[in-house]
Amino acid sequence: MMNTVHIDLCPVCANNNCPETLICKDHLVTGELFSVHRCSKCNFAFTQNFPCEEEIGKYYDAPEYISHSDTHQGFINSLYHQARKISLKSKTKMASKYSSETAETLLDIGSGTGYFLNAMRRKKWIVTGIEKSETTREYAHKKFGLNIQDSEYLFKMPDRTKDVVTMWHVLEHIEKLNDTMANLHRILKDDGVLFVALPNKKSADAIAYKEHWAAYDVPRHLWHFSPDDFKQFAEKHNFKIEKMKPMYFDPFYIAMLSEKNKGTSTASLAGLFKGSLFFIQSLFNTRRCSSIIYILKKK
Ligand SMILES: [Zn+2]
């Protein structure tokens, strides 16, 4: 019997009425079904009965899990890698633009293979990374000479020491949601800035694909935010949202994967086409974007 985590109270507002809203499939590894529940009060959603920290490892055990690997095989992957180059540039720019002039210390949580940290180090930032996978930490060390810490490090770091903390599509994977956010507030300097990139369950593509939407990504994604419930969550932890930025490539990538989940035979083509429609919508309204970068400061 697998050890799972059952959520009784909404992790954002503590409401106890969170009925099932969707049943999603793990399309990447096991084909198992997981239900997504939604809080009746604040609309925050979460994957119910997800595998605990000790057992979730096997659900990441896929060569396609490209955020953690460097494979260039396949059409979708090669597009992904091109897009990653461009978005890497925009992330490094953003970190400088929104932080104070004297900012120099940066922590990237879920630093993966280390590309972002390496790019920031080349811009003279003093960088620290946290990554839970030991294999991935070793990869980042071999490839870039980066010394990456394990997950526990966040809770041991001294108060008010970081100018910038980044989490690029990571918070939705972390079991200790509230503890993590509280510690981010603790380790940030008073004028520090926090970047959190998250899929948006109220995006045009999420609404269109419903349970096939690839960014539900159960059971790897535990938490499913929209701009409204993320704002409430941020404020609960004494952060305010300074700005929301769209991630322009995600609608294409997510639409291609979602088409594949639906069983569309020409998934990549269909996904590219529909992705362009979602992309166009997101140009007019960031709140409809597939993924959003939230830029937060302390209240
Ligand atoms: Zn709630």
Print pLDDT tens along the chain (299 aa). Answer: 689 999 999 999 999 999 999 999 999 999 999 999 999 999 999 999 999 988 998 998 876 554 545 555 677 677 777 888 898 999 999 999 999 999 999 999 999 999 999 999 999 999 999 999 999 999 999 999 998 999 999 999 999 999 999 999 999 999 999 999 999 999 999 999 999 999 999 999 999 999 999 999 999 999 999 999 999 999 999 999 999 999 888 888 899 999 999 999 998 899 999 999 999 998 999 999 999 999 999 99
Q: Is residue 282 part of a domain?
A: yes
Q: Evaluate the CA torsion angle 138, 254, 220, 227 in order and state its sign.
A: positive
Provide the pLDDT for residue 66: 47
Q: How many domains does the chain have?
A: 1
Q: Is residue 14 part of a domain?
A: no
Q: How far is the CA of 226 from the centre of ligand 1 (A)?
A: 12
Q: How far is the CA of 18 from the centre of ligand 1 (A)?
A: 8
Q: How far is the CA of 17 from the centre of ligand 1 (A)?
A: 8
Q: Is residue 7 part of a domain?
A: no
| CATH number for the domain harbouring residue 233 | 3.40.50.150
Paired residues of 5 in beta bridges: 50
Q: How far is the CA of 9 from the centre of ligand 1 (A)?
A: 8
Q: Is residue 60 part of a domain?
A: yes
Alpha-carbon gap, residue 80 to 74, rounded angstroms: 10
DSSP, res 121: H
Q: How far is the CA of 81 from the centre of ligand 1 (A)?
A: 36
Q: How far is the CA of 118 from the centre of ligand 1 (A)?
A: 38
Alpha-carbon gap, residue 124 to 104, rounded angstroms: 8
**Domain around 52:** 20-298
What distance separates the 2 farthest-apart alpha carbons in the chain? 53
Q: Is residue 4 part of a domain?
A: no
Provide the pLDDT for residue 68: 47
Residue 34 and residue 222 in contact, taking contact as beta carbons nearer than 8 Å? no
Q: Please write down the long-range contacts of 181-184, taking CB distance under 8 Å and 24 or more positions apart.
A: 181/233, 181/234, 181/237, 181/239, 182/237, 183/154, 183/155, 183/157, 184/154, 184/237
Q: Is residue 15 part of a domain?
A: no
Q: Which amino acid is at 98?
A: Y
Q: Is residue 10 part of a domain?
A: no
Q: How far is the CA of 16 from the centre of ligand 1 (A)?
A: 8
Q: Is residue 246 part of a domain?
A: yes
